[in-house]
Amino acid sequence: MTIEKIILGIDPGTTVMGFGVIKVVNKKMEFLQLNELLLAKYEDRYTRLRLIFDRTIELIETFHPDEIAIEAPFLGKNPQSMLKLGRAQGVAMAAALSRDIPVTEYEPKKIKMAITGSGNASKEQVAKMLQQLLPGLKELPKNLDSTDGLAAAVCHHFNSGKTVIGKSYSGWDAFIKQNQDRVKK
């Protein structure tokens, strides 16, 4: 019996959204696509959010993923940056949840650890390791946001069947149930 699953990985951002798609057949990964959505040319932040939503829907309609893995925003030196990343992530999550596709968040260090064995690996190290793991990935892009999205998908595959630190939602009902404190009544 063949078990197939398609995983879409997303690295959300307000200037670049990276994404990658893998197909898993009987636990063996196949590279399908990686790319990025360039948003820096759009000054209006709401236009950027709409484009993230639209592109995520387009990817869902093209690849029909069974699951979506998304990189969680991390707290850096600038809280405003985290807020912007959180909005981008939320829009991508909303697109997935609007199509009832389960979403799982992964911390950046968890993704790096899953791919390279080190939570402190560089983007270049993650990209090179992805080439080793996915023979179909011949050339690396100049901008590595797309490989970060692909790394989220591979991390999700490696964590399938394991307890994941992070949150996973199978739809709006699950999101609301797990986030009662965020729901206005």
Annotated binding site for Mg(2+): 11, 71, 145
Strands 4-11 and 16-25: antiparallel
Q: What does the alpha-carbon distance between residue 122 and residue 138 come to, in Å, rounded to a whole number? A: 19
The residue whose two tokens read 């979506």 is 68
User: Which of the residues 11, 36, 67, 105 is marked catalytic?
Assistant: 11
Q: Is 148 a catalytic residue?
A: no
Q: Is 66 a catalytic residue?
A: no
The upper half-sphere exposure of residue 128, i.e. CA atoms within 13 Å in the direction of its Cβ, equals: 7
User: Which of the residues 36, 67, 105, 145 is marked catalytic?
Assistant: 145
Q: Is 11 a catalytic residue?
A: yes
Tokens representing residue 136 in the block: 């179909």
User: Which of the residues 67, 71, 105, 148 is marked catalytic?
Assistant: 71
For 12, 48, 53, 118, the CA distances from 87, given in Å and listed in that order, are 9, 10, 11, 28
Tokens representing residue 137 in the block: 């990935």
Q: Which residue numbers are catalytic? A: 11, 71, 145
